[in-house]
A = this chain, B = another copy of it.
Amino acid sequence: MKRLGVGLIGSGFMGKCHAQAFRAAPTFFALPREPALELLADIDAKTAQKAARALGFARSTGEWKTLVADPAVEVVSITTPTALHKPMALAALAAGKHVWCEKPVAASAADAREMAEAARKARAVTVVGFNYLRHPLIRLAREMVASGEIGEVIGFRGVHLEDYMADPKTPWVFRFDPAGGHGALSDIGSHILSVARHLAGEIAEVSGQLVTAIARRPAARGSAKTRAVEVDDQARALLRFASGATGSIEASWIAWGRKLTLAFELTGSKGTILLDFERMNELQIFTAGQRRGRAGFKTILAGPDHPPYGSFTPAPGHHIGFNDLKTIEAKMLIEAIAGGPPAWPDFEDAWHIQQAIDAIALSARERRWVRTSDL
């Protein structure tokens, strides 16, 4: 089978995920191309070498530009801090590579648009790592919407809550750097906005609120010196969708006790869908018109009736996990590169998500409703 040369930039949490996904994808799916882990780039040669060995890459480099130019690399995975996504993606696209980029795609909608345009011009396959959209139950939810099972969508309330920044002693890290965009809004708000858009359509207008509840952080772990936090740790917005549906989102990385509360309630004119990724293998649905005395929410457990769950195990209710989502993402990327169905969300989609992010921030700053198309 023809190989697909993979280059990975970054080897942290998400770098590992990409590497594992490339390795796992051919195990679970019959793929048209066999990913080959060619080259890994990281902050310096030594770090890169160590990571390459751990993650199974053939070669390594301390220069990402070297990776982008490497002829054996056909697809570039970008898993660095957000501020670096644009230069790396543009260079990769310019070098004729396909790109798998982590979210948020860029620090601003303007940057995201530039990336989307470059991708279009390059006719490259691009995928942005909104991995939760890969879950078979999100696919089910979208099918239910499309088939009219809950009627017309009239409301969406979504949250993405975690607590990885809840402890005020958690030190300043790159995620607090405004150069990467916003705070919780960019980091996890982007996820719930991606879900909102996937299920309820384009977001037209927002009224936002950004809050920095913990104003200063230790400059480094254990340091007595502190550093001001300039980005939000709680973000909220009222939404109006292009369809006329309305809703809200909230993102917080200081929500004590929450680990993956990426949850939504999708209200239709004939039913309701609920999903919470802390129980990611359960979807709840209520439909109008049930028999009197027998009506209620039904809990559907992910199973082989919900593709591509069956590629992982034939047994329903046996659970897929977080890494499996990334494996599905890699599969879609590889198939698209081989000429299969288009991959999504691509840079174009990510740009629209970024518009919503920036609109929320602008709205919060100017205390007025803002159209996403203005960003």
Given contacts A157-B159, A321-B312, A323-B324, contact A246 B256 (CB under 8 A): no
Residues of B within 8 A of A252 (CB): 155, 267
Q: In the complex, which residues 208-240 of chain A have their Cβ closer than 8 Å to any Cβ of chain B?
A: 209, 211, 213-214, 234, 236-238, 240
Chain B CB within 10 A, most for which of A20, A26, A294: A294
Whether B305 lies near A300 (C-beta < 8 A) is no
Given contacts A167-B288, A257-B296, A258-B272, contact A319 B280 (CB under 8 A): yes
Whether A256 lies near B294 (C-beta < 8 A) is no
Nearest CB on B from A282, distance (A): 8
Is A293 in the interface zone, CB < 8 Å from B?
Answer: yes
Whether A234 lies near B154 (C-beta < 8 A) is yes
Q: In the complex, which residues 8-44 of chain A have their Cβ closer than 8 Å to any Cβ of chain B?
A: 13, 17, 19-20, 23-24, 26-28, 30
Given contacts A56-B26, A234-B154, A257-B286, contact A294 B303 (CB under 8 A): no
Question: Which of B295, B314, B318, B367 sits near A368, CB closer than 8 Å?
Answer: B367
Interface class of chain A by DSSP: mixed
Residues of B within 8 A of A299 (CB): 296-299
Question: Which of B234, B270, B298, B301 sits near A246, CB closer than 8 Å?
Answer: B234
Please give the count of copies of this chain that the complex contains: 4
Residues of B within 8 A of A234 (CB): 154-155, 246
Is A248 in the interface zone, CB < 8 Å from B?
Answer: yes
Given contacts A259-B317, A312-B321, A312-B322, contact A24 B24 (CB under 8 A): yes
Question: Which of B168, B250, B296, B368 sits near A248, CB closer than 8 Å?
Answer: B250
For residue A234, which residue of chain B has the nearest CB? B155
Chain B CB within 10 A, most for which of A27, A268, A281, A285: A27
Whether B322 lies near A269 (C-beta < 8 A) is no
Instruction: Tell me, in angstroms, the Cα distance from A214 to B19 when the chains sit together.
Output: 48
Nearest CB on B from A335, distance (A): 17
Residues of B within 8 A of A268 (CB): 256
Shortest 6 CB-CB contacts between residues of A and residues of B: A259-B317, A257-B286, A321-B321, A293-B305, A318-B322, A296-B300
Instruction: Name 16 A/B residue pairs within 8 A (Cβ), A-sorted.
Output: A20-B24, A23-B24, A154-B254, A167-B288, A209-B246, A214-B269, A256-B271, A256-B272, A259-B318, A277-B319, A292-B305, A293-B306, A297-B299, A313-B323, A320-B322, A321-B321
